[in-house]
Amino acid sequence: MTVTMEVCLDDVRAAHERIRAWIRRTPVLTSERLDTESGASLYFKCEGLQEIGAFKARGASNALLSLAPAALAAGVVTHSSGNHGAAVAWAARKRGVAARIVMPRNSSRAKLEAVRSFGGEVVLCEPTQKAREAAAAELVARTGAEFIHPYDDPRVIAGQGTLALELLEQQPRLDVLLLPVGGGGLASGIAVAVKALSPDTRVIGVEPAGADDAKRSFDSGVLTTLAQPNTQADGLRAALSERTFRLMRRYVDEVVTVSEESLVPAMRALWRSLHVLVEISSAVPYAALLERQLSLSGKRVAVVLTGGNVDLDALPWVVATTPAGASSPPR
Amino acid sequence: MTVTMEVCLDDVRAAHERIRAWIRRTPVLTSERLDTESGASLYFKCEGLQEIGAFKARGASNALLSLAPAALAAGVVTHSSGNHGAAVAWAARKRGVAARIVMPRNSSRAKLEAVRSFGGEVVLCEPTQKAREAAAAELVARTGAEFIHPYDDPRVIAGQGTLALELLEQQPRLDVLLLPVGGGGLASGIAVAVKALSPDTRVIGVEPAGADDAKRSFDSGVLTTLAQPNTQADGLRAALSERTFRLMRRYVDEVVTVSEESLVPAMRALWRSLHVLVEISSAVPYAALLERQLSLSGKRVAVVLTGGNVDLDALPWVVATTPAGASSPPR
């Protein structure tokens, strides 16, 4: 498969055919209580119920299944401190090839263990964006492995977009779709599919205020990156790429931010009423509902719950109550 | 509706028609990792995703919807320290009638709050079986309200059995079905339906060894109750009734017990691989798989995950590590 610069509905459809046997058609849940509290009809797409606990299974599956055996002979490489690493390790094992995952030294034990449990080889590096990119590039150069970027890759973007195909089958009439924005792979892929199939559905990206590079880029029209994102939502610290920024500008309607203080209440509200425990990063779109900053009364609103890889021994409200000054925002 | 002594497939089917609009058709999840670890093909029916977080929504819905308006004029009463109370409160509110829930004084804040959040009126009593039964009887005598027993009620039993109708539609070929046994309402209802529709499917009840009244009753043929059940699995401390014992003897194939030490590992394994957080009582059937006491290799095995009302601020392994002697088994 040629790596093209853009992604269209046909790519997403082809991805869905390709990965259908590997991924789960995750359920869409509703909650009478959350509907009452929000005044909207909410549809929660529960991607935490993928085998690896996150939507990243989609993009990684599509990348692995797009590659010809010859291209896979030397295995695959990626860098990730989170779910993409586990997803690539899992998909590579299903494809029968080796996966090396570059991860920062300070990754949590749970995340390192997840990658290894799917058969991935962890390669540790210093905890900077530069160091992880350099380590991955060095591995690719030395081994000839195929690099699978966490989001700046049309195969990954098209794979993430398959979520929207399922969601629109499960709930065809949607006024609004809320999703979290990190590097923009999910937002791009979903928006491409939604705007082709249901153009009147507003696609709204949500970011924590401490990692608002997409919001700044969107508002200014110029791709903007932050020197140091500052948020508990570790899955959303990544910066947009030129590619995801371009796709988002074309297909996403709006980007809004939520305050850091809303994230734990959103995570807890989802657990209390939906009985689904999501990562703090995955609580971000619901935080926008809690903050009531969007006019959603009476609307049919889909909320993408991206992942459920929560470390039960380090719940964010427990971490948050350690003595002040003990550390910078938890990873 | 006349309260008959027995329950048959037609009752379960009628219940399903009655409650269909109120309850969720909960998903059946699979896990490559748990299949590999167990050597079986496992199908997890996730009842924690009901609106109230447990299968008890089924029985309570059927009871409330079976009653004529005249019978409901004075509302409903039940006693429960757990999910049945929340289910009755929720179903009563949907039916537009009052619910009074007798609960022991030492119920957790989370459980009291759950009942109240669904509009139920909590009536506190001493924490004994006798006290709660007396308090409920007194309320019924004084108010004329309808009593809805947590399990010794054919309407409740038939309602719980609807889970099996869905499961057999979602996964028609099952060699074995594992479910937890408390008072036997779920086990009775499910076994009635399964033995009528899929007689070759073995229905196996699982109990914690510290609350093995069903196992003892099953093995001896005589209904046996324990003076003091001793298990963390608070949802399974109830004793069989004559009715549920009779139904279980006729339709359940076997009852096995698991050791207390397997419960937390089972709960954690389900969370790690399935990304579903279940109550400690709901981890009991999977504990039987972990203990490898059943020959399930190569079999198609359904596991009923009954509920997901976990208090994240009192996870059982955290409670379990409080200083020795600090308390008897946590409630």
Tens digit of each residue's pLDDT, chain A (331 residues): 444 448 999 999 999 999 999 999 999 999 999 999 999 999 999 999 999 999 999 999 999 999 999 999 999 999 997 899 999 999 999 999 999 999 999 888 888 999 999 999 999 999 888 999 999 999 999 999 999 999 999 999 999 999 999 999 999 999 999 999 999 999 999 999 999 999 999 999 999 999 999 999 999 999 999 988 999 999 999 999 999 999 999 999 999 999 999 999 999 999 999 999 999 999 999 999 999 989 999 999 999 999 999 999 989 988 654 444 333 433 3
How remote is the C-alpha of A237 from its chain's centroid?
Answer: 11
Distance CA(B270)–CA(B264), nearest Å, equals 10
pLDDT of B319 reads 62
Question: Which residues on A lie below 8 Å from B25 (Cβ)?
Answer: none
Distance CA(B205)–CA(A161), nearest Å, equals 42
Below-70 pLDDT ranges, chain B: 1-5, 319-331
pLDDT of B320 reads 52
Please state whether beta strands A99-104 and B41-46 pair in parallel, antiparallel, or not at all (unpaired). unpaired
CB pairs under 8 A between A and B: 41
Chain B: which residues have CB within 8 Å of chain A?
Answer: 24, 27, 29, 31-33, 48-51, 53, 117, 268, 271, 274-277, 308-309, 312, 315
* Owner of token pair 């425990």: A277
Nearest CA in chain B to A313: B318
Nearest to B312 among A33, A309, A315 (CB): A315
Question: Which residues on B lie below 8 Å from A274 (Cβ)?
Answer: 49
Tokens of A182: 């990190």
pLDDT of A323 reads 43
Question: Which residues on B lie below 8 Å from A49 (Cβ)?
Answer: 27, 29, 274-276
Nearest to B277 among A27, A51, A277 (CB): A277
ipTM of the complex: 0.91
pTM of the predicted structure, to 2 decimals: 0.93
Nearest to A31 among B51, B117, B276 (CB): B51
Which one of B29, B270, B312, B319 makes the best mutation probe of the A interface by having the most chain A beta carbons within 10 Å?
B312
Nearest to B275 among A29, A31, A308 (CB): A308
| Alpha-carbon distance A137 to nearest alpha carbon in chain B (angstroms) | 31
- Return the closest-CA partner of residue B108 out of B307, B311, B279: B311
* Owner of token pair 């153009």: A199
pLDDT in tens, B181-229: 999 999 999 999 999 999 999 999 999 999 999 999 999 999 999 988 9
Question: Which residues on A lie below 8 Å from B32 (Cβ)?
Answer: 51
Nearest CA in chain A to B307: A275
Tokens of B89: 């409160």
pLDDT of B82 reads 87
Distance CA(B111)–CA(B292), nearest Å, equals 33
pLDDT of A320 reads 52
Other residues' Cβ atoms within 10 Å of the Cβ of residue B171: 16
Q: Do A49 and B275 touch (CB under 8 A)?
A: yes
Tokens of A275: 């009985």
In degrees, rounded to 5, the angle at the alpha carbon of residue B279 between the alpha carbons of residues B273 and B283 is 55
* Long-range CB contacts for residues A64-72, cutoff 8 Å, separation at least 24: A64/A88, A64/A91, A64/A92, A64/A94, A64/A95, A64/A97, A64/A148, A65/A18, A65/A19, A65/A22, A65/A91, A65/A95, A66/A1, A66/A18, A66/A155, A67/A1, A67/A95, A67/A146, A71/A146, A72/A97, A72/A146
pLDDT of A318 reads 82
Other residues' Cβ atoms within 10 Å of the Cβ of residue A236: 27
pLDDT of B2 reads 42
pLDDT of B119 reads 96
| Alpha-carbon distance B174 to nearest alpha carbon in chain A (angstroms) | 20
Task: Give CA separation, A33 vs A39, A192, A270, B211, B283, in Å.
Answer: 10, 32, 10, 34, 26
Q: Do B275 and A27 touch (CB under 8 A)?
A: no
Q: Is A324 exposed, middle or buried (0-12, 13-18, 19+ CB in 10 A)?
A: exposed
Chain A: which residues have CB within 8 Å of chain B?
Answer: 24, 27, 29, 31-33, 48-51, 53, 117, 268, 271, 274-277, 308-309, 312, 315
- Return the closest-CA partner of residue B306 out of B170, B187, B151, B149: B187
Q: Do B27 and A49 touch (CB under 8 A)?
A: yes
pLDDT of A1 reads 41
| Alpha-carbon distance A282 to nearest alpha carbon in chain B (angstroms) | 14
Q: Is B68 exposed, middle or buried (0-12, 13-18, 19+ CB in 10 A)?
A: exposed
Nearest CA in chain B to A26: B27
